[in-house]
Amino acid sequence: EAQVTQNPRYLITVTGKKLTVTCSQNMNHEYMSWYRQDPGLGLRQIYYSMNVEVTDKGDVPEGYKVSRKEKRNFPLILESPSPNQTSLYFCASSPLSPGALPEQFFGPGTRLTVL
């Protein structure tokens, strides 16, 4: 089954304790992206990657890191989490095509709480 998977689905942690949220897709997509969703703000892009070893900042990159060493994986790293990073996080992927980006396929989400 074609899908985007994220782990963990739920995480409660404390301020300053480094954490990684994994994202993997099995559709051979070039493009992968991380979003955070907060009430009343919709989804905001954190980082995206156009291909292996190619990453770029989205709208809200502060406090996050990413890497793209393999095409299928795109982990999100919080080196020193803070309470304002409490949010619902989505990973997404899509193929690349000429022109505008096609629709993205979303993972199930990771609900992160930072105390």
Partner 1 sequence: AQSVTQLDSHVSVSEGTPVLLRCNYSSSYSPSLFWYVQHPNKGLQLLLKYTSAATLVKGINGFEAEFKKSETSFHLTKPSAHMSDAAEYFCVVSDQGYSTLTFGKGTMLLVSP
Q: Which of 104, 112, 113, 115 binds partner 1 (CB under 8 A)?
A: 104
Nearer to partner 1, 1 or 82 (CB): 1
- Nearest to 76, CA basis, from 45, 40, 30: 45
- Within residues 54-93, the interface with partner 1 by CB under 8 A covers 56, 58-59, 90
Q: Which of 5, 45, 73, 86 binds partner 1 (CB under 8 A)?
A: 45
Please state the closest distance from residue 16 (CB atom) to partner 1, in A: 29
Please state the closest distance from residue 72 (CB atom) to partner 1, in A: 18
Helices (H), the chain: none
The answer to whether the beta carbons of residues 42 and 28 sit under 8 Å apart is no
Instruction: Give whole-number Cα distances, 114 to 63, 91, 94, 107, in Å.
Output: 13, 19, 30, 21
Dihedral, CA atoms, 90, 17, 13, 43, nearest 10 degrees? -20
Binding mask 15-44 for partner 1 (x = CB under 8 A): ------------------x-x----xxxxx
